[in-house]
Amino acid sequence: MGNRRSAIATPARLTVAACQFPVGPDVRRNGAAIRRQMRAAARRGAEVVQFPEAALSGYAGAQFDTFDGYPWGTLADETARIRGLAAELGVWVVLGSAHPRRSGKPFNSLYLIDPAGRIAKRYDKCVLMPRDRLHYSPGRRLVTHTLGGIKCGFLICFDFRFPELWRDYLARGCRLIFVSSYLASPRRRRLMETVAPALLTARAAESFLHVAASNTCGERPWCSARVLRPDGSVARRAPEGRAAVVVHTVDLADDSTLYNPIGPLALAAARGARHS
């Protein structure tokens, strides 16, 4: 009986925290906000703490006009402090920042920091808007990592407009996608306040994927931080306009209880099938 029990697979589960705070140009201030939310998320049982696009570095073209004279030393110091806190708390961190290059423009990146404080992976934003191309170099590859038995993928902001990227992750066996964004503007854009949440819902439902989405709450955000189930429903959503930490446990054992008309057809389509 003991052997039989040990042979039963433990369901894959992962408690994620999608964070939002007003990302700004001050790296020290951003770092302090990130560490506060890491502690808050850890107290609530989060195993992975996710932050917005450019959460630590600030977003070129939004908070500052150029990387000329940028305080890279300060950014490195704050990154080290966040890595140290990840080790102290024993949590994974998905950190939006800028990654410098020896030549060429920096990358707009997500660092995946492990519970020992090491950078396990780095995803560089692949699809850049025209404004982004003035400041950043495009990434060339998708990145996956298995957390809590769940294979995860990573995207940054404008990437989520492209279903091809999602289907590529699905074909690679991913079940959870972390999307970190700076979905905001100094001007109110009511259309985007409808489009941004709708796209996240569609991406979850069309590929039957769990989604953790983090966003700034500075300027005029178009979409608050949230976690979506693979049927497109919102499991948790942050209030609009203020700093918040949203915690939810992704449990793959629950997927069978959700409405799933797309079933294995989504995976087949991701691998090239165009008929059933």
- Domain contains 3: no
- Domain contains 158: yes
Assigned token pair, 151: 């294979």
Find the domain containing 169 and state its range.
14-251+260-270
- Helix 27-43 and helix 72-89, axial crossing angle in degrees, nearest 10: 10
Do 197 and 160 form a contact (C-beta atoms < 8 A)?
no
Reduced to 3 states, what is the DSSP secondary structure of residue 82?
A: helix
How many domains does the chain fold into?
Answer: 1
- Domain contains 275: no
- Domain contains 247: yes
- Domain contains 7: no
State the CATH number of the domain containing residue 101. Answer: 3.60.110.10
Q: Tens digit of pLDDT per residue, the chain (276 long)? A: 344 333 345 669 999 999 999 999 999 999 999 999 999 999 999 999 999 999 999 999 999 999 999 999 999 999 999 999 999 999 999 999 999 999 999 999 999 999 999 999 999 999 999 999 999 999 999 999 999 999 999 999 999 999 999 999 999 999 999 999 999 988 888 889 999 999 999 999 999 999 999 999 988 999 999 999 999 999 999 999 899 999 999 999 999 999 999 988 999 999 999 888
- Domain contains 9: no
- Domain contains 1: no
- Domain contains 276: no
User: Which residues neighbour 132 within 8 Å (Cβ) at sequence distance 6 or greater?
Assistant: 61, 108, 125, 158
pTM of the full predicted structure? 0.95
